[in-house]
Chains A and B, each alone.
Chain A
């Protein structure tokens, strides 16, 4: 008997941006395999063009879509609602910034440039799909696609011990958490008989009302898997090691696109699928958020390696973002989205600076390597200053507004103690963020002429442009947050 397809061409067109990325990835692979392969510059260009095109298609399809909330695609596997659109665009933007900062590092693995970009693009496609996924299967497979790419990218410097170690750790722990997540999905499926998020949204309250314990158990295990992905404590053990070991652009990708896409999924699952049983999971999320903020910030306090410090900061920021989910309100969600956007630019900017200053596998990552940066490279130092101010949450940066709104949501929802933890830990965070500032501005450079030996020549235009862009966006979000807020407010999930 023939199988009637339920999928139209329309649906295929709708995932055009992701398809474009996948196709570009394939092209890169093919081109890389032919003859001597692609030059780094050319590969970068291809990746950039693919991202640009993808963005253009995404925007075009969004604007042509009109105001009405779009219907689910692929038989309910995918929905391109405003929420998905926001995160997809954010993922594209952060990956674009990652591409801008990549070219410098790629000199070390010139022969793998095309694979590198191909994997990056496919990971992006995975991230874009998972934020739009409407059933757990699609969500999980997209997540796995992104994760697998990340494992490889983290270890792509196969001849470098640190990169390899990062890959091992990330892979082992990632696979373990993935198994836990999967086990949770299987339990959820068993308890509710559905993998569709809308179905879960209806089934969960019913299951709980009937006294089901498998359903919440499955939900918890799913949450644990996602907490791992967003690097929330105490599922964060991989973060410092992997962030330090991975090539810096990939670290930026992990801290940016990967983390944020996972967060988007977490938001969709918790607020939409489990939205009806929020009282069940709110204490868990509160605990995780508080633990992340405390652990991340305290862990960063004694770090001297900037990359590692930023890794711990990334843990802390997972906690801040979780406040938005914890509040389970519109305010909380849009605050988290706003903060995620600001955070993406701040953290990728900061990692870009790290990428620019590091030398080889080990050198140039310590705080003391930033000594005198304010004089040596005023632009770089000033940009870093902006990022650090933003990460601390001081105006006039986007980070400030994000934190304010998140704490506001927590206060409004009655989670004042979490907000307290948040404000106090962000005050603590000042201490380590500004240690870098101290080195940049208050400590004279080690070398009398201000040039540090081996510090990588003239920086490429791309990375400088990326840093500048990040700084400008960070500031712009701090001075005129209105448009972004208006946008995210229209991109909210339908909360239950």
Chain B
């Protein structure tokens, strides 16, 4: 069964090809959805089978499936001698990719199903499902790739699909802009990621995970030696990889694309911009944990960036009026959590949160999508309200998701968030208490904005237009079923990792253990050094904060947005800062984007002006000019000489008034002059 691993990405690919190329433009929605859901469902089933098979083998040894040699560009001189560089394409099954595989296929399938209902009647139905399937393929390659190169194929593939689906409504200028922005911001991250890969390849002559891990283990000290820019090689690589991760996972400084990415259809936001793709950065960091462990300074950077992003994004989410934007910032914030964990060395906690987050965030998005769908595309929270009665399933599942993300016991978020906060508290990183405090504050903010959104959307009275109100109806089963399933996941997913403090076994952490390298590192102590009692104390504290925040939010927003707005007026500066997202977009636009464009225009003008016209045409003009000159020589210079002499003589004698010329005489003069010059030159030489 494991040997069929290659079929897992292939099935959705076939689905995409079938939908994209074969079925033709007149294929019914039914055909298309059968192909798309069938292939993704089959992939999910097969994935489960493969996972089961892998788990049953009982061995933690990764299962590698090398498919073909991708690039073999010859001998590369590396630090360990010339290496015949061979970059393979293959798949790898280890605990980390098992988790990711499950999350991706499972969530992916339900979102496929959901989309059938959500997208019904849209003009780009077939295109949509083609993209969705392609995305699944790319994401599977990303998480299953057996080396950085294969992973990068998926990495860029998901970026591309993200570009395509964000720009799905391509006739809207804003959607197209958002797609491009996402792609280019991601490219900036990829740029750094590639640099990291090249450094690795240049050092070890390979990019396969298996080989790299053995090389890294063998040459830990060499990796810590100074390399460039005051960094060690490990530090350089880690920095590059992390920068790549910030691009994909929307962390500071490259998070700006994600809110705009909400221009795509909502299920896509759920799948790509919440549950799966954006977590690729976390996956990358965890996958490269051996290198990060060798670069504690970069690990600390990861943690701080994660914490800062978490706090900042949560702050932005507080004031958003667009439901999807709230969720988008929430996603950024939660991803910040994951990076916080990863930076602190709590890799399994990061992945744990990644998995639980996938469920509840997908759930939240899908539920939000159902609301938006019902409201005919309305996304503004201020025009919702009172939907609790009209859309009971949606409201309840959304509530489950909100509780989960708020970290209320025993929902999934509680367990994973707790793992991260415990890690922060226990961490040896300097300033870890600050990190903990930020984490706690963010948890409170999360609960607040989530229930603010909940209250505005579902409680109070309906504030939208009357004619819409009459048509409110619950979503079809294709949408409701995924909501229900994911809600179940949002409740139960956390139970896989109940910590020992609460009598669990932290099965999740144990399972991931083989993936976490044991690189001897004095600065990163082992996780979970807290006593069980302290851990329980921290849990309680977090839960209390969350509960207070929830109550506060419900109190303020139960009746509508007015009270909230009144409070905002009291803090105009802060509110403006948050509403305008700290003007980061504007700053980027003014500096980097416009700077580049101006530079481009400048260079182009320089090219047309200086290089082309200046140098080349200048030379051309010089040639023409000198030709004109030499053309004139026969006509004018000799005459000019004569004129000059005439002018000269005019000063001496008025008698020479009649100035005339004869061409032959001039020629003869020049001829004799030339001969004379020859003679003179000779006389000088000798």
Q: Do A and B come from one complex?
A: yes
Which residues on the A side are within 8 Å of B672 (C-beta)?
176, 180
Q: Nearest chain A CB to B618's CB is how many angstroms away?
A: 15
Q: Nearest chain B CB to A143's CB is how many angstroms away?
A: 17
User: Does the CB pair A224–B686 fall under 8 Å?
Assistant: no
B634 to A, closest residue via Cβ: A237
User: Does the CB pair B674–A213 fall under 8 Å?
Assistant: no
User: Does the CB pair A234–B670 fall under 8 Å?
Assistant: yes
Which residues on the A side are within 8 Å of B630 (C-beta)?
294-295, 298-299
**In the bound complex, what is the Cα–Cα distance between A303 and B624 (angstroms)?**
11
Q: Contact partner of A224 among B629, B634, B664, B675, CB < 8 A?
A: B675
**In the bound complex, what is the Cα–Cα distance between A217 and B627 (angstroms)?**
32
Q: Nearest chain B CB to A106's CB is how many angstroms away?
A: 27
User: Does the CB pair A220–B678 fall under 8 Å?
Assistant: yes
Do A237 and B627 contact each other (CB < 8 Å), given the known contacts A217-B679, A220-B679, A284-B678?
A: no
User: Does the CB pair B667–A237 fall under 8 Å?
Assistant: yes
Which residues on the B side are within 8 Å of A235 (C-beta)?
671, 674-675
User: Does the CB pair A172–B678 fall under 8 Å?
Assistant: no
Q: Is A85 an interface residue (CB 8 A)?
A: no
Q: Nearest chain B CB to A172's CB is how many angstroms away?
A: 5
User: Does the CB pair A298–B671 fall under 8 Å?
Assistant: no
Q: Contact partner of B671 among A237, A241, A284, A294, CB < 8 A?
A: A237
Q: Nearest chain A CB to B627's CB is how many angstroms away?
A: 4
Which residues on the A side are within 8 Å of B681 (C-beta)?
284
Which residues on the B side are within 8 Å of A216 (C-beta)?
682, 686
Q: Nearest chain B CB to A21's CB is how many angstroms away?
A: 31
User: Does the CB pair B667–A238 fall under 8 Å?
Assistant: yes
**In the bound complex, what is the Cα–Cα distance between A303 and B678 (angstroms)?**
29
Which residues on the B side are within 8 Å of A221 (C-beta)?
675, 679
**In the bound complex, what is the Cα–Cα distance between A301 and B678 (angstroms)?**
27
Q: Is A317 an interface residue (CB 8 A)?
A: no
Q: Contact partner of A302 among B631, B663, B671, CB < 8 A?
A: B631
Q: Is B623 an interface residue (CB 8 A)?
A: yes
Which residues on the B side are within 8 Å of A180 (C-beta)?
672, 675
User: Does the CB pair B667–A299 fall under 8 Å?
Assistant: no
Total chain B interface residues with beta-carbon distance under 8 A: 26
**In the bound complex, what is the Cα–Cα distance between A468 and B681 (angstroms)?**
46
User: Does the CB pair B682–A298 fall under 8 Å?
Assistant: no
Q: Is B566 an interface residue (CB 8 A)?
A: no
Q: Is A364 an interface residue (CB 8 A)?
A: no
B665 to A, closest residue via Cβ: A172
User: Does the CB pair A301–B624 fall under 8 Å?
Assistant: yes
User: Does the CB pair B668–A173 fall under 8 Å?
Assistant: yes
User: Does the CB pair B678–A224 fall under 8 Å?
Assistant: yes
User: Does the CB pair A169–B624 fall under 8 Å?
Assistant: no
- A456-495 Cβ-contact flags toward B at 8 Å (1 or 0): 0000000000000000000000000000000000000000
B679 to A, closest residue via Cβ: A220
User: Does the CB pair B664–A213 fall under 8 Å?
Assistant: no
Instruction: Report the interface size class on chain A.
Output: 20 to 34
User: Does the CB pair A168–B678 fall under 8 Å?
Assistant: no
**In the bound complex, what is the Cα–Cα distance between A312 and B65 (angstroms)?**
75
Which residues on the A side are within 8 Å of B606 (C-beta)?
none
Q: Contact partner of A301 among B623, B677, B686, CB < 8 A?
A: B623
Q: Nearest chain A CB to B683's CB is how many angstroms away?
A: 8
Q: Nearest chain A CB to B73's CB is how many angstroms away?
A: 37
Q: Is B70 an interface residue (CB 8 A)?
A: no
**In the bound complex, what is the Cα–Cα distance between A301 and B670 (angstroms)?**
22
User: Does the CB pair A299–B664 fall under 8 Å?
Assistant: no
**In the bound complex, what is the Cα–Cα distance between A223 and B681 (angstroms)?**
14
- B649-686 Cβ-contact flags toward A at 8 Å (1 or 0): 00000000000000110111011101101110110011
Which residues on the B side are within 8 Å of A241 (C-beta)?
663, 667
User: Does the CB pair A176–B634 fall under 8 Å?
Assistant: no
Tell me the residues in window 123-155 of chain A with beta carbons closer than 8 Å to chain B beta carbons: none
Q: Is B626 an interface residue (CB 8 A)?
A: yes
Tell me the residues in window 227-257 of chain A with beta carbons closer than 8 Å to chain B beta carbons: 228, 234-235, 237-238, 240-241
User: Does the CB pair B664–A168 fall under 8 Å?
Assistant: yes
User: Does the CB pair B668–A172 fall under 8 Å?
Assistant: yes
- A269-304 Cβ-contact flags toward B at 8 Å (1 or 0): 000000000000001100000000011001111110
- B608-631 Cβ-contact flags toward A at 8 Å (1 or 0): 000000000000000110111111
Tell me the residues in window 426-454 of chain A with beta carbons closer than 8 Å to chain B beta carbons: 428, 431
Q: Is A177 an interface residue (CB 8 A)?
A: yes
Which residues on the B side are within 8 Å of A213 (C-beta)?
686
Q: Contact partner of A228 among B628, B664, B671, B685, CB < 8 A?
A: B671
User: Does the CB pair B671–A177 fall under 8 Å?
Assistant: yes
Q: Nearest chain A CB to B188's CB is how many angstroms away?
A: 44
| Contacts between the two chains (Cβ within 8 Å), count | 75
Q: Nearest chain B CB to A125's CB is how many angstroms away?
A: 27
**In the bound complex, what is the Cα–Cα distance between A314 and B686 (angstroms)?**
32
A175 to B, closest residue via Cβ: B668
**In the bound complex, what is the Cα–Cα distance between A310 and B626 (angstroms)?**
19
B668 to A, closest residue via Cβ: A176
User: Does the CB pair B667–A298 fall under 8 Å?
Assistant: no
Tell me the residues in window 410-439 of chain A with beta carbons closer than 8 Å to chain B beta carbons: 428, 431
Do A173 and B679 contact each other (CB < 8 Å), given the known contacts A216-B686, A235-B674, A298-B623?
A: no
Q: Nearest chain B CB to A426's CB is how many angstroms away?
A: 13
**In the bound complex, what is the Cα–Cα distance between A303 and B632 (angstroms)?**
12
Q: Nearest chain B CB to A337's CB is how many angstroms away?
A: 26
User: Does the CB pair B664–A169 fall under 8 Å?
Assistant: yes
Tell me the residues in window 98-147 of chain B with beta carbons closer than 8 Å to chain A beta carbons: none
Q: Nearest chain B CB to A227's CB is how many angstroms away?
A: 8
Do A298 and B626 contact each other (CB < 8 Å), given the known contacts A224-B675, A235-B674?
A: yes
User: Does the CB pair B667–A302 fall under 8 Å?
Assistant: no
**In the bound complex, what is the Cα–Cα distance between A223 and B677 (angstroms)?**
13
Q: Contact partner of A172 among B629, B664, B670, B677, CB < 8 A?
A: B664
Do A173 and B671 contact each other (CB < 8 Å), given the known contacts A217-B682, A295-B630, A299-B631?
A: yes
**In the bound complex, what is the Cα–Cα distance between A220 and B629 (angstroms)?**
28
Q: Nearest chain A CB to B672's CB is how many angstroms away?
A: 7
User: Does the CB pair A220–B631 fall under 8 Å?
Assistant: no
**In the bound complex, what is the Cα–Cα distance between A74 and B399 (angstroms)?**
124
Which residues on the A side are within 8 Å of B671 (C-beta)?
173, 176-177, 228, 235, 237
**In the bound complex, what is the Cα–Cα distance between A284 and B674 (angstroms)?**
12
Do A240 and B634 contact each other (CB < 8 Å), given the known contacts A213-B686, A224-B674?
A: yes
Which residues on the A side are within 8 Å of B629 (C-beta)?
298
User: Does the CB pair A302–B628 fall under 8 Å?
Assistant: yes
Tell me the residues in window 126-171 of chain B with beta carbons closer than 8 Å to chain A beta carbons: none
Which residues on the A side are within 8 Å of B626 (C-beta)?
298
Which residues on the B side are within 8 Å of A220 (C-beta)?
678-679, 682
Residue among B667, B670, B678 with max Cβ neighbours from chain A (10 Å): B678
User: Does the CB pair B627–A301 fall under 8 Å?
Assistant: yes
Q: Nearest chain B CB to A360's CB is how many angstroms away?
A: 23
Which residues on the B side are within 8 Å of A303 (C-beta)?
631
Residue among B624, B630, B667 with max Cβ neighbours from chain A (10 Å): B630
User: Does the CB pair A428–B674 fall under 8 Å?
Assistant: no
Which residues on the A side are within 8 Å of B664 (C-beta)?
168-169, 172-173
Which residues on the B side are within 8 Å of A228 (C-beta)?
671
**In the bound complex, what is the Cα–Cα distance between A419 and B686 (angstroms)?**
26
**In the bound complex, what is the Cα–Cα distance between A428 and B620 (angstroms)?**
9
Which residues on the A side are within 8 Å of B668 (C-beta)?
172-173, 176
Which residues on the A side are within 8 Å of B623 (C-beta)?
298, 301, 428, 431
Tell me the residues in window 630-655 of chain B with beta carbons closer than 8 Å to chain A beta carbons: 630-631, 634
Which residues on the B side are within 8 Å of A283 (C-beta)?
685
Which residues on the A side are within 8 Å of B682 (C-beta)?
216-217, 220, 284
- A165-208 Cβ-contact flags toward B at 8 Å (1 or 0): 00011001100110010000000000000000000000000000
Listed in ascending order, the chain B residues whose CB lies under 8 Å from chain A are 623-624, 626-631, 634, 663-664, 666-668, 670-672, 674-675, 677-679, 681-682, 685-686
Can you report 8 residue pairs joining A to B where beta carbons are below 8 Å apart? Answer: A216-B682, A224-B678, A237-B666, A299-B634, A300-B627, A301-B624, A301-B631, A431-B623
4 further A-B contacts with Cβ under 8 Å, apart from A172-B668, A284-B678, A431-B623, are A168-B664, A217-B682, A299-B634, A301-B623
The 7 closest A-B pairs by CB, nearest first: A301-B627, A237-B667, A298-B627, A234-B674, A224-B675, A298-B630, A299-B630
